[in-house]
Amino acid sequence: MTQPTSRSCRDVLVTVLCVLLYAGAVAAYTVWSYREHRTTLMEQIDSRLLQAARSLKYLLAEDFHDRALGPDSISREEELRNRKLVTAFGVESGFAWVHTIAEADGRFYFSAPSVSEEEAQAQEKWYFHPYEDIPEEFIQAWRDRKPVYVNYTDQWGTFRSVALPQQSPGGRCYLASADLEISDIRAMVRKNLVRSILVALFFLAASLPLILLVIHLFQAHTRTLRRLNAELQRQQDHLEELVQRRTADLEKETRRLQEALDNVRALRGLLPICAACRKIRDDDGYWDQLENYVLKHTDTEFSHGLCPDCLQRLYPEFASGDNPPPS
């Protein structure tokens, strides 16, 4: 039978495993909630970026990108007008930068970028300014004609950007792009993660009474099973004792019957008997009194008396029954 200490350790192990499983489920929910919130938020951001990139062409002349073929192909007046419209659109929409990107001879240039006051003071002309550090994903988007989204971090902050391939009425391909600063958004995601953890801890703490109740019921059920098991073991031991006792009695009775059978077998068959003295010859050739032979081979004992014929012949005076015969 299992020792009490082993049972207690097993109960503790089962309890710990149950708590760990519940805590794991809570942790899994927290991670799922964090990722779900992050995914939803990023989908909303990507939707805003895509909508902004699609809107840029409506701020420019319809044939602008058919004419934006080199640094001198667009007048200074048109550049400033485009800069004003695009910059105002970006500021009012909450984007860090919005711009279009043209390609010429395998290199990429800003064709209609938004320009901050600091950038305007640092550099007078931004039309057809080389985009030296263009992300490789943007180049791939231009080649595949498929929009891409990129996260990047520089000295200005952390941003998410979209590169949307567009085509001018004359068939010239260019990229429309919008950048959104997401440092605050990442802080919001982390804040949501903390909130999810706190909610999970709250539910974990709120469920502790239920967990303790389940543990109590489990332990009570276990104690009942142990008691029933102990009672069953006692009944089994008692049954084994009864079986052993009955087996011993049966073996004893079997031996007794076997001895009786052996005695019966010993008296079967022809017995050599003297015709004169009535002695019996045994298997070893010795002659013995009839009474002694029977006593040796059976459990029979003799008592002496007189049959009616011998009584009449030897003691006729007692044969009538008035006087008792001599002992």
Q: Decide if pLDDT at 250 tops 70.
A: yes
Rounded distance, CA 82 to CA 57, Å?
11
In this predicted model, what pLDDT tens digit does every residue of 158-175 receive, in sequence order? 899 999 999 999 999 999
| Residue boundaries of the structural domains of the chain | 4-190, 280-319
Q: Which of 14, 7, 19 is nearest to 225 (CA)?
A: 7
What pLDDT is attached to residue 85?
A: 96
Place of tokens 């809570």: 26
Q: Decide if pLDDT at 179 tops 60.
A: yes
What pLDDT is attached to residue 2?
A: 46
Rounded distance, CA 45 to CA 38, Å?
10
Rounded distance, CA 224 to CA 231, Å?
11
Is domain 4-190 classified as CATH 3.30.450.20? yes
What pLDDT is attached to residue 171?
A: 94
What pLDDT is attached to residue 149?
A: 96
- Between 228 and 277, the more confident residue is 228
Q: Decide if pLDDT at 323 tops 70.
A: no
Mean pLDDT of 254-263: 73
Q: How confident is the model at residue 188 (pLDDT cuts 50, 70, 90)?
A: low
Token pair in block for residue 98: 């919005």
- Between 264 and 108, the more confident residue is 108
The DSSP call for residue 326 is P
Environment class of residue 1 by beta-carbon count within 10 Å: exposed (0-12), middle (13-18) or buried (19+)? exposed
Token pair in block for residue 58: 């409506």
Cα torsion for 5, 7, 12, 15, to the nearest 10°? Answer: -170
In this predicted model, what pLDDT tens digit does every residue of 60-104 receive, in sequence order? 999 999 999 999 999 999 999 999 999 999 999 999 999 999 999
Q: Per DSSP, what are the bridge partners of residue 148?
A: 163
Mean pLDDT of 96-119: 95
In this predicted model, what pLDDT tens digit does every residue of 4-38 receive, in sequence order? 556 667 766 777 777 778 778 777 877 887 788 78
In this predicted model, what pLDDT tens digit does every residue of 237-248 receive, in sequence order? 888 888 888 888
